[in-house]
Amino acid sequence: MRITVAALALFAWELLPRLEVIDPQFVPPLSSVLVTIRGLLENGDLLTHTLVSLQRAFSGLLAATLIGLPLGLVLGGWFPRLQQALEPLMELFAQANPVILAHIIIFFLGIGEVAKIFTICWLCIWPITFSTIAGIRNVDPQLMKAARSLGLGRWQLFLHVALPASLPPSLPV
């Protein structure tokens, strides 16, 4: 059944642009796409473009991680006043889709690499931040009480108990 559906989709992809049911300028026929991919493979451009795209993706993810992790740690309840002040703003920013903000991004950053990396960072920063907040907030309260009873200070408690306990279970501590 799946093979039939996939075959029908590929057949429609080839046929609909050829019959101009779909504008071939926007959705070229499958055969044209395959010929173009073959040409890009032969002259080496596909690898070059793939590496540039991967560099953008990793740069944006790295920037989002470097911003989102500390932000999530700060907003995870460790600094309640800062959390109360910034949380509504964070919720608002998280809802701002970079596709909708494209004209503002282009106005301030242009259409070069910085704008592309910023857009990737914007998309990645919110899941990282909110996952970190959830991790910090879900630290076992009994674990925190036990550490406090052993005389750990606020920063020791954070570094040696809250931070390791907030990591996903698959990460080594």
| Interval 138-151: pLDDT, tens | 888 898 888 888 88
170, pLDDT greater than 70: no
Total tally of structural domains belonging to the chain: 2
Q: Which residue has the tokens 């959390």?
A: 83
Examine residue 43 and state whether it is found in any structural domain, yes or no: no
Q: What is the pLDDT of residues 74-113, one digit of tens each?
A: 888 777 788 888 888 888 888 888 778 888 888 998 999 9
Ranges 116-120, 121-125, 149-153: which has the least confidence: 149-153
Integer-rounded Cα Rg, in Å, for the chain is 24
Q: Give the confidence band of 25 by pLDDT, cuts at 50, 70, 90.
A: very high
Examine residue 49 and state whether it is found in any structural domain, yes or no: no
Dihedral class, residue 152 (left if φ above 0, else alpha if ψ from -120 to 50, else beta): beta
> Do both 134 and 73 map to the same domain?
yes
pTM metric for this prediction: 0.73
Examine residue 18 and state whether it is found in any structural domain, yes or no: no
171, pLDDT greater than 70: no
Provide the pLDDT for residue 40.
92
157, pLDDT greater than 60: yes
Examine residue 28 and state whether it is found in any structural domain, yes or no: no
> Do both 132 and 173 map to the same domain?
no
Which domain, by its residues, includes 155?
Answer: 140-173
Q: What is the mean pLDDT of the chain?
A: 89
* Burial class of residue 95, CB neighbours in 10 A (0-12, 13-18, 19+): exposed
Examine residue 51 and state whether it is found in any structural domain, yes or no: no
Q: Tell me the two tokens of residue 9.
A: 């989709």
Q: How many C-beta atoms surround the C-beta of residue 76 within 10 A?
A: 23
